[in-house]
Amino acid sequence: MKNVESFVMTPTLFDQREKRRSLLFSHTWRELIPQVFEDVPKYYRFGNIVASFGFWELWVWQFVRTIELKPGYKVLDVCAGTNDIGIRLLQKQPGLDVTAIDRSREMQVEGQNRAKDYGVRIKSVIHDVHELPFPDNSFDVITLQAASRHLQLNRVLPEIIRVLKPGGHFYHCDMLKPSNRFIEMAYLRFLRLSVAWTALIFGSTEASRNCHDYFMDAIANFYTPEELSEILRMVGFVNVSCGKSIWGGMVGFHKAQRSMETGNRQAELSPSP
């Protein structure tokens, strides 16, 4: 079997991969995932900690460390969930203007409660992140953490670069497909077990239990850290860098900058009708 590292990502291959992901998971994304996020807000953070044997907090800490901030920056947290990233960024740099966007009202209600508990203010927008309801060139920094596996990247990434200011930075962190096939196989088996015991511990709903295999399949059909770096460059980002966790790239931390030029490649990478 040909190793994934030998593939060169191209716009055509990216389009094919995204069409396959949509074909495989569109029903789950549209029907089951919203139901899951109705169930998990109260235990979302602790559920991730349990499922990852405690590594979740390390990954989030590593991600927040990579984000460069200045007072007055306008920050957009895409798929903000319970506002964990927004809260941490405001603790790191209190002078930020932070907006959270997520399509799950339930997750954002919990996120707003958490923001109040921490004494910080985060604007909340409930909307599908595939169509960001903001003008061009709106934000200095955009973050996306632990959600890109559940999104159509050929729709989301052009939107992110559109609303990012020229010269602004995009920071991404997620569980990715390991570049090494042996690590990938072990990782997918671990995911199957971790999702099952987390659902059992927290008494998850039927919708969450029905996603048992999805979380493993989503990784198997996702991108390696190297592939995602190439995709970011294809969209039009420059100065793309990627840091990988010590577990063979199971978690990747990407940083990319929007070019100072005003144009982008949204039309080229938009999904075919």
If you average pLDDT over residues 183-203, what whole number do you get? Answer: 70
**Ramachandran region, residue 217 (left: φ > 0; alpha: ψ -120 to 50; beta: rest):** alpha
pLDDT band (50, 70, 90) for residue 180? confident
Please give the helix or strand (H or E) that residue 37 lies within, else none.
helix 33-39
pLDDT at 117 > cutoff 90: yes
Helix (H) or strand (E) holding 236: none
In sequence order, which ranges of 126-180 are alpha helices (DSSP H)? 153-163
Residue tagged 């604007």 (tokens)? 123
State which amino acid sits at residue 242: C
Mean pLDDT confidence for 184-208: 68
Strands 251-258 vs 164-175: parallel, antiparallel or unpaired: antiparallel
Rounded to the nearest integer, the mean pLDDT of the chain is 86
Q: Would the pLDDT of 201 be above 70?
A: no
Please state the separation of Cα 16 from the chain's center in Å.
20
- Domain CATH number, residue 47: 3.40.50.150
Tell me: pLDDT of 102 over 50. Answer: yes
* Residue-number span of the structural domain to which 118 is assigned: 4-269
The candidate with the shortest Cα–Cα distance to 82, out of 58, 66, 60, is 60
Query: Strand pairing partners for 172?
Result: 144, 254
Band of the pLDDT at 205, cuts 50, 70, 90? low
pLDDT band at 6 (very low <50, low <70, confident <90, very high): very low
Cα dihedral sign for 239, 12, 143, 220? negative
| Crossing angle (nearest 10°) for helices 153-163 and 225-235 | 50
Q: Decide if pLDDT at 2 tops 70.
A: no
Residue 142 has pLDDT above 80, yes or no: yes
Q: Does the reported pTM lie above 0.85?
A: yes
* pLDDT tens digits for range 238-249: 999 998 775 666
pLDDT at position 4: 39
Q: Is the pLDDT of residue 170 over 90?
A: yes
Tokens of residue 201, six digits: 């511990």
Asked whether the beta carbons of 161 and 269 are under 8 A apart, the reply is: no
Mean pLDDT on 251-258: 94
Cβ neighbours around 170 below 10 Å, total? 24
Q: How far is CA 213 from CA 28, 86, 130, in A?
A: 11, 30, 24
Backbone region of residue 205 per phi and psi (left: phi > 0; alpha: psi in -120 to 50; beta: other values): beta
In our burial notation (b when 16+ CB lie closer than 10 A, e otherwise), range 45-83 reads bebbbbbbeebbeebbeebbebbebeeebbbbbbbbbbb
Of the CA atoms within 13 Å of residue 34, those in its CB half-sphere come to: 12
pLDDT at 50: 66
Helix axes 181-202, 44-51, angle to 10 degrees: 130
pLDDT the model gives residue 202: 57
Q: How far is CA 42 from the centre of its chain?
A: 20
Lowest mean pLDDT segment, chosen from 35-49, 74-88, 135-149, 216-230: 35-49
The tens digit of pLDDT for each residue in 37-63 reads 887 777 677 667 666 666 778 888 889
Domain count, the chain: 1
Tens of pLDDT, residues 18-31:
999 999 999 999 98
What pLDDT, on a 0 to 100 scale, did the predictor assign at position 100? 98
Residue 7: predicted pLDDT: 56
Choose between 7 and 250: higher pLDDT. Answer: 250
Q: What is the DSSP letter of 124?
A: E
